[in-house]
Amino acid sequence: MTPHAPLPSPQALALLRVLVEHIRTGTVRPDDPRTFLSYKQAHDRLGLDEGGDTIGNSLKRQGLQELAEWAKRERLPAVTGLIIDRDKLHPGNGYYELHRQPRTAVMWWLAQVDAAVKYDWSPYLAGV
């Protein structure tokens, strides 16, 4: 099986790989944001230099925004919902805005995470 959608940039694919590796640990519970990755954890796992006023904005500029837009465009689960603000246990506002969802759409967000956990991302990561 090969993906039909054009792949995102290497930066966005690297972030997707981090998310899929986290999913494959088996510790992600879609109903428990404490099992998701924080912006800092994702940033650190990628070994990125800080390139923004916050870690979240740095990650956004270095693949997060592109990955989110790509998944939306290709009608894939909104996998970037697995990255959260650790203090708020919620994704940033940009996640909801991109998907035209109110910040109160928690059930929608968790359903997207559940779909992302169950989705077979391997065709997009083959050879990466």
DSSP string, 13-65: HHHHHHHHHHHHTT---TT-GGGSEEHHHHHHHHTPPP-SSSHHHHHIIIIIH
Q: Does 15 map to a domain?
A: no
Give the 3-state secondary structure of residue 11: helix
96, part of any domain: yes
Q: What is the DSSP string of 83-101?
A: EEBTTTTB--HHHHHHTT-
Is 88 contained in some domain? yes
Question: Into how many domains does the chain fold?
Answer: 1
Note the pLDDT tens digit of each residue in 10-30: 999 999 999 999 999 999 999
Whether residue 7 is contained in a domain is answered as no
Is 78 a member of any domain? yes
Per-residue pLDDT band for 8 (boundaries 50, 70, 90) equals confident
Residue 105 counted as domain residue: yes
Q: Cβ distance 91 to 81 under 8 Å? A: yes
User: Could you tell me the residue range of the domain that residue 55 belongs to?
Assistant: 30-125
What torsion do the CA atoms of 44, 48, 54, 58 make, to the nearest 10 degrees? -130
In a domain, 19, yes or no: no
Which tens digits make up the pLDDT trace of 36-93?
Answer: 999 999 999 999 888 878 888 899 999 999 999 999 999 999 999 999 999 999 999 8
Residue 36 lies in a domain: yes
